[in-house]
Structure 1
Amino acid sequence: MNKKIVLLCVLALLNTGIVAQKTKDVWLDDLPIKSFSEGIPAVLPKTNAAGDSMKIKGIYYIHGVGVNSTSVLAFYLNGMATEFSATVGVDDRGIKNLPHKFYVIGDKKILFESGEMRWGDTPKDVNLNVQGIKQLGLLVLVDMDINKTYSNWANAKFKMKDNALPQTLPNSNEKYILTPLPDKKPKINSAKIFGVRPGNPFLYTIAASGEQPIYFTVENLPEGLSVNPKTGIITGQLGQKGTYKVNLKAKNAVGEAQKELRIIVGDTIALTPPIGWNGWNSWAKNIDRAKVIASADAMVKMGLSQHGWTYINIDDAWQGQRGGTLNAIQPNEKFPKFKEMVDYIHGLGLKVGVYSTPMITSYAGYIGGSSDFENGKITDSIINNKRAFRYIGKYRFEQNDAHQMAAWGVDYLKYDWRIDVNAAERMSVALKNSGRDIVYSISNSAPFSHASDWARLTNTFRTGPDIRDSWLSLYHSAFTLDKWAPFGGRGHWLDPDMMILGNVTTGSALHPTRLTPDEQYSHVSLFSLLAAPLLIGCPIEQLDAFTLNLLTNDEVIEINQDPLGKSARLVSAENGVQIWLKPLEDGSFALGIFNIAEFGKTPQSYFRWGDEQPINYALEFNRIGLKGKYKLRDAWQQKDLGIFDKSFQTTINHHGVILLKVFPVK
């Protein structure tokens, strides 16, 4: 037969699908599976989510992916897969009688649904034709408030055409900027209230935006304090309890600004939520002195400090051995000249935080605040078997460590363990007796049953697990906090964890956040409404214009830092829209209207499909307890919208927000 005719015949057969294209098996556990996960706890290849052998009803599997709690795995196939297969079930280490549901969803259609499965049930096989499917999602639904649920996608694999591989979902939505650039005239952006304990060192920086240089003065500054006119850094000491009202002034070549500050000398510090940076989601265990100093320098050079961003917090992995004159935790080799580093950061007008734990070892495997040895030392065998020593030892060193932090000039402590009241109180007392005001933040997943204890003992308390850069994680971390709201307030703030903006390392290598731009606006809005700590979790020097704009809107930050200190409450949740309302000190309100798009109501709602549309929404004032006329101001656009009577019409993007300041009109 003529070669040309043979070729034409082969092409014709390919077009009709009679001759199959070349395919290959791609095991999910051979992919960088963490980068596909939008769940909160760990997802692990070739093991269950506890890191042990994968076993369902006594049968071991060498291939597969182990997940925990509600799990979302999202794959972009772009029509390059032909089959998906797996065996699903609850791992033998799972919880008895807890229902799990497995789903496979392709381009919004449910391709497989397991029904309820429990520990001990026979696993179910999945064999699906996925020809032509662009996006495929693997979902496990289980109670998100229960840990160690352990579900398995055993033997999970794709058949992929040619040499194609599944990809992570593209996040190419336009990064639209809403907030206008700051004026050249000076504007003071510091919090309006500041707390300090009597006799303790005082450090407060007047944050001001505008054309540089800016010069600072303070009227009615009480005796014992002084201000540096070039930096706006106020230092000194106040011995008497009481409230001092001072007038901050900032002046440059274009104009001047002023703002009243109330200094309250008493028993309570952190009168507004801490606002700054934490190094874990930037560098994890790779943090070192140079990265910390670079972050502090970037806080100033990028202009964040002009908008009130203050804390530079070192997370886990700075700790060395116990020693020194106080037999306290000393820095490891990555942090030489620790006190010199702290002094340098203070010289920039910023504050410094560190990490510790009451356990023998931290989660990253470094020395903690207790030991089974009287001298508190940690041995190589303990370090090499760190997971076995995540408990509180016989000997405790809270006083040693608190006094060492105070001697260095530390301003913030993140204390991380399986939270209990006794350990929380011991460190609380030690910090208060250290001679320095050290903001006390406990982590993670504080039990709600002891919410009043966390409010009594700490300055911030983590309300949930470690956050991930996904809508599922953000929703679980922040949109479910209404029940916690009564326990947040001046000196004791609800903490949903770090912010998941910019480039982050949450569960995989440094990568741009997977939140869409709309989700990022919602993220910053809700954290501000909740009066949550604002801790940037990305390398500051890598901020792009969009993310920097998100973090430097003074009207949004002012909502977070409002002196009244009230957390927003969820006042309406219907038809896929949540409304959160926060009272402010001046008698106005901050109001967030969030399009959550019925998230969690259907299996499809756990995934982003790329065709989501905005909604039109009518806000009825009386339905959220507001009566009369109100002047509305768009906080993100910093623009007055007018006076409205009874209702307000708007459009909200998918997973987006309209953030308003609401002023009663008499």
Structure 2
Amino acid sequence: MKRKINALRIMLLVVACTLWCAVGSAQNNIARLDALDIKSFSEGIPGIVTKTNAGGGPLKIGGHYFSSGIGTNGVSVLPFLLDGDAISFTAGVGPDDEANPLSTYKFYVIGDKKILFESKDMKVGDQPEKIQVNLSGIQRLGLLVMVDAANLSRSYSDWVDAAFVMKPGYMPEHIPNTGEKYILTPASSALPKINSAKVFGATAGNPFLFAVAATGVRPMYFTASNLPQGLNIDSATGIISGKVNNKGIYPVVLKAKNKWGETTNILKIKIGDTIALTPPIGWNGWNSWAREIDKDKVLASAHAMVSKGLHNHGWTYINIDDAWQGRREGSDKALQPNEKFPGFKDMADSIHALGLKLGVYSTPWITSYAGYAGGSSNFEDGSYPDSVRDNKRQYRYTGKYRFENADARQMAAWGVDYLKYDWRIDVQSAQRMQEALRKSGRDIVFSISNSAPFDSAATWKKTANVWRTGPDIRDSWTSLYYSAFLLDKWAPYAGPGHWNDADMLIVGNVTTGSKMHPTRLTPDEQYSHVSIFSLLNLPLLIGCPIDQLDAFTLNLLTNDEVIEIDQDPLGKPARLIIEDKGVQVWVKPMEDGSYAVGLFNLAGFGKTPQSFFRWGDEKPVSYQFDFSKAGLLGKWKLRNVWKQQDMGIFSNQFKTVIPHHGVVLLRMYKAG
């Protein structure tokens, strides 16, 4: 009996040892936040950095330095897919010691909609709060920093010594974006249809270029009656060019004809002192290739604009962002392109021959954000030595010698049509470049970037054609919301010749924050994105490689009725009229007396910590739009703009279903 007991004990000991050895050999994964590709997870604004604070300094909370962690700025949103494979999360949190002392910060860890950790309201100088949460069984996790909205500038917050403990073989993943890419807009007809803006402004005596945008089967032939003296139209391409010396308003009758029929439209040409009578619409290269942009990519984008048919819907500008700049040369010491852009004038001519326009980038600083030569220098000859290039962050200021006039003349000589001027905006630099462009002898749309102070909105209206109202946009709902849905206060300052700008469209494949990837906006969010930009009369600048557009994204960008809302000659941005039960109603008056109305299901975004994240169980909402609450009394004929479909006549109200973060975009015509 004793031998049997001993044998049983030995067997149990062997089994226990085997299990212990197995557990010991399969070590858990430690996933530090600063070791992940953390920028690709970030949905906040602006971006995120590792092992430094958001300003590039050391991580420091309450007087304590940390070598491991991440730095964020403003509202920070970090979603992770864990799928039940995480064990725990630990970190220290707090505002960085270099942060804005006026801001108040609050940190959250949220798992499957439950708040697992909530910090106190924290201020600069507070000691870091410690986090240690159990993540057993958690499917989706969110790390959130909320900041007092009144003091977002330099709102640096830190997650230090931050790490997940994961089961062996597992790491945090991205939240999937698996929404159906449903197409709403019907294909264009074979019949000719003119889609150009109804008004165009130019300066007397400057070169004139306008391409008639028209859909329909080619070949197509164009005519223009009552053109002012000095202009001609190419009957095969619809490109109107030349020069008008006399100021005035010229109603021109455009005609487009193919084998299926013909159509006419009125174009009002205004020769005077104001250009950009409708918001610019085109493409910008930064979110496609950033510093890797070159001449071949720019020309390929221009040809893709034509081959994809976007130009037939009014898309016009091909804008080169930062990274084209080289050295200053010649007697004028004007900035010249670098080796990636040989034959700059020939490139511009090729783009103009397609009926498109060319944009470039500059800054009044010594160095651009990407580290290329800017519009000033501490050297009289404008040189940009390696000592400056290698320490570029230290030279983000306006130098002793400025070259606005020389650069504006060179841009005009090349045939540039658009300038993005990028820096921490100040009035004097903006006014100097405005004057230089005015004297250049060419109409060049003047766009200033970024984060124009609202307190000077009246000044930007007088100084620039376009001004960026916030920081760089990212492909996330959080960024879209803060970039566009908070612009109601800016509306009174926008109108023909001067437009608010929320940055590029974040559809298609983008490189915001990390390598090229499909936008993280759901299809519903993308419909909302294009809708709110159009309702607000914002510039529409595609931010993805045009030749990579899939059928969904191309359809999203070629709805002429949506573009017409953006390009309406009245130029009055929509206003937020109703906010009720998670739905916002934006109403925009149109030149013809109708109204464009956007019903957006924001689902209470920003109202709770949980609302910043996508949990996978989001649902549409049923909403009854009460016309009287929007000041639209009586009967109205309603049209679904995305479907290009009449819906009938409605009295007093309209009931519909709106997808989560989606939109119902209406055009309302008085019916009695």
Task: Write the letter of the residue equivalent to 2:229.
Answer: E
How far does residue 326 in structure 1 lie from its aligned partner after superposition? Answer: 2.7
Equivalent residue, structure 1, for 2:147: 142
How far does residue 13 in structure 1 lie from its aligned partner after superposition? Answer: 8.4
Change (3 A) 1:176 1:12: farther
Change (3 A) 1:18 1:486: same
The separation in 1 between residues aligned to 2:546 and 2:524, in whole angstroms, is 21
The separation in 2 between residues aligned to 1:161 and 1:601, in whole angstroms, is 34
Equivalent residue, structure 2, for 1:177: 183
Q: Secondary structure at the match of 2:364?
A: coil
Q: Give the TM-score normalised by the residue count of structure 1.
A: 0.97
For 2:574, which of 568, 575, 578 is the aligned residue? 568
Task: Write the letter of the residue equivalent to 1:191.
Answer: A
How far does residue 432 in structure 1 lie from its aligned partner after superposition? Answer: 0.9
How far does residue 420 in structure 1 lie from its aligned partner after superposition? Answer: 1.1
Note the alpha carbon deviations across 1:127-157, whole angstroms, 9 max, x for none: 1110111111100111345222221111111
For 1:318, which of 315, 320, 324 is the aligned residue? 324
For 1:541, which of 518, 543, 547 is the aligned residue? 547
Q: Give the TM-score normalised by the residue count of structure 2.
A: 0.96
Contact 2:201 2:270 in 1 (8 A): yes
- Structure 2 matches for 1:389-468, cutoff 5 A? 389-468=395-474
The separation in 1 between residues aligned to 2:405 and 2:435, in whole angstroms, is 9
How far does residue 162 in structure 1 lie from its aligned partner after superposition? Answer: 1.4
For 1:284, which of 282, 287, 290 is the aligned residue? 290
Task: Write the letter of the residue equivalent to 1:122.
Answer: Q
Contact 2:103 2:152 in 1 (8 A): no
The separation in 2 between residues aligned to 1:421 and 1:60, in whole angstroms, is 38
- Structure 2 matches for 1:37-56, cutoff 5 A? 37-56=42-61
Note the alpha carbon deviations across 1:183-222, whole angstroms, 9 max, x for none: 1111111111000100110100011111112111112222
Note the alpha carbon deviations across 1:476-534, whole angstroms, 9 max, x for none: 00000010000000000110111111111111111111111111000000000000000
Contact 2:111 2:140 in 1 (8 A): yes
Task: Write the letter of the residue equivalent to 2:670.
Answer: P
For 1:84, which of 75, 85, 89 is the aligned residue? 89
The separation in 2 between residues aligned to 1:510 and 1:560, in whole angstroms, is 28
Equivalent residue, structure 1, for 2:133: 128
Within the alignment, does 1:343 sit opposite 2:349 as a pair? yes
The separation in 2 between residues aligned to 1:574 and 1:431, in whole angstroms, is 46
- Structure 2 matches for 1:166-205, cutoff 5 A? 166-205=172-211
Task: Write the letter of the residue equivalent to 2:568.
Answer: D
Equivalent residue, structure 2, for 1:113: 118
Within the alignment, does 1:219 sit opposite 2:225 as a pair? yes
The separation in 2 between residues aligned to 1:532 and 1:386, in whole angstroms, is 32
How far does residue 18 in structure 1 lie from its aligned partner after superposition? Answer: 10
Q: Secondary structure at the match of 1:474?
A: helix
Task: Write the letter of the residue equivalent to 2:113.
Answer: K
The separation in 2 between residues aligned to 1:8 and 1:244, in whole angstroms, is 96
Percent sequence identity is: 62
For 1:69, which of 69, 74, 78 is the aligned residue? 74
Indicate the larger mover: 212-221 or 130-139.
212-221
The separation in 1 between residues aligned to 2:103 and 2:292, in whole angstroms, is 38
Change (3 A) 1:47 1:633: same
Note the alpha carbon deviations across 1:441-486, whole angstroms, 9 max, x for none: 0000111111111111111111111111111110000000010000
Q: How many residue pairs get matched?
A: 662
Contact 2:527 2:556 in 1 (8 A): yes
The separation in 2 between residues aligned to 1:389 and 1:226, in whole angstroms, is 47
- Structure 2 matches for 1:252-651, cutoff 5 A? 252-651=258-657
Task: Write the letter of the residue equivalent to 1:607.
Answer: F
Q: Secondary structure at the match of 1:558?
A: helix
Within the alignment, does 1:247 sit opposite 2:253 as a pair? yes
The separation in 2 between residues aligned to 1:9 and 1:592, in whole angstroms, is 67
Equivalent residue, structure 2, for 1:664: 670
Segments of structure 1 that go 5 or more residues without pairing to the other structure are none
How far does residue 98 in structure 1 lie from its aligned partner after superposition? Answer: 2.8
The separation in 2 between residues aligned to 1:46 and 1:576, in whole angstroms, is 38
Task: Write the letter of the residue equivalent to 1:314.
Answer: I
The separation in 2 between residues aligned to 1:471 and 1:165, in whole angstroms, is 24
Contact 2:100 2:153 in 1 (8 A): no
The separation in 1 between residues aligned to 2:113 and 2:255, in whole angstroms, is 57
For 2:29, which of 13, 24, 28 is the aligned residue? 24
The separation in 1 between residues aligned to 2:193 and 2:605, in whole angstroms, is 40
Q: Secondary structure at the match of 1:399?
A: helix
Contact 1:324 1:330 in 2 (8 A): no
The separation in 2 between residues aligned to 1:536 and 1:551, in whole angstroms, is 9
How far does residue 288 in structure 1 lie from its aligned partner after superposition? Answer: 0.3
The separation in 2 between residues aligned to 1:385 and 1:440, in whole angstroms, is 29
Segments of structure 2 that go 5 or more residues without pairing to the other structure are 1-6
Indicate the larger mover: 459-468 or 214-223.
214-223
How far does residue 20 in structure 1 lie from its aligned partner after superposition? Answer: 11
